Amino acid sequence: MTVSKAVGCVWLVPTPLGNLGDITLRAIEVLRNCDAVACEDTRRSGQLLTHLGISRPLVRLDAHTMNRAPGILEQYPRLAYVSDAGTPGISDPGAELLRLALELGHRAEVLPGPTAFVPALILSGLDSGRFTFEGFLPRSGRERRERLKAVVERPETSLIYESPHRLHATLTELAALCAAHRPDAPERQASVTRELSKKFEETRRGTLAELAAHFSGGVKGEIVLVLAGAPEQPRPTPDADHSALAAGWAAEGKTLRDIRELLQAAGLRKNDAYELALRALQGVAPQKRGADHQEPYDPD
């Protein structure tokens, strides 16, 4: 494999979260053959390049120096970008660099590699079929309250990056919001994974209250909080009111499908709505339904 020599290409290159053995062969090749390596922290990225035996110009490019990006792209047409750890473009300036490069007509490639939230999601043991990546939450104010409320009410799993000094407060807030949102539901399950691929890697699972108690004394490291989705709202079971509604609709001549859909709109599950609609139609006097009446049929 060879690195493209085309002019004007930006590579977003993932770097290890902690274990240097997680660097990929392709990442090494790109870093060796690019014109320069842009990074958030030249000291930290310099240590990685030294470990890999790579000598490339290092250019600081972070949220505070992104205005330099056009000039850097002109000076170094084949530019690799690395974040402090993990895959650039997720909760770091890599995404802005990529957008700018594309606007200027450069090619862009994103290499696959380490990212913290995917292993944390799998380690949590929670539902991974559907999830939302929240990144870092706002630190305070209305925006934070609104984001936390959205997280609590969301039916799918949520993944949050959190700092050590805010973890306990976030767990406590989420526990209170979950209890207020669904006081009838079991306590919400969650997990906290920190220091992925490092010596003191830890994943702690439990309810939000249990996790808040465990981490009340403080914690160190880079953290991913995984929160189970909100439980499904309980649906009502058929009662006399539903039966009366169904009977009235049947007397009006509505079809099985119409009655079933109306009952579903009233909150009943599809099977319950179907059975109640069928009973209502069967209970209508034959003379009111016409001599040529046929048994109801619901194509759905």
Tell me, yes or no, if the pTM score tops 0.85: no
pLDDT band per the 50, 70, 90 thresholds, residue 289: very low
Average pLDDT over residues 154-168: 96
Which pLDDT does position 81 carry in this prediction?
Answer: 97
What is the maximal distance between C-alpha atoms in the chain?
A: 92
Which pLDDT does position 291 carry in this prediction?
Answer: 43
Q: Percent of the chain, pLDDT > 90?
A: 68
pLDDT band per the 50, 70, 90 thresholds, residue 300: low
pLDDT in tens, 249-280: 888 888 999 888 888 888 888 888 888 888 88
- Of residues 151 and 294, more confidence is placed in 151
Which pLDDT does position 296 carry in this prediction?
Answer: 54
pLDDT in tens, 186-225: 999 999 999 999 999 999 999 999 999 999 998 999 999 9
Q: Is the pLDDT of residue 162 over 50?
A: yes
Average pLDDT over residues 117-133: 97
- Of residues 113 and 232, more confidence is placed in 113
Average pLDDT over residues 29-40: 96
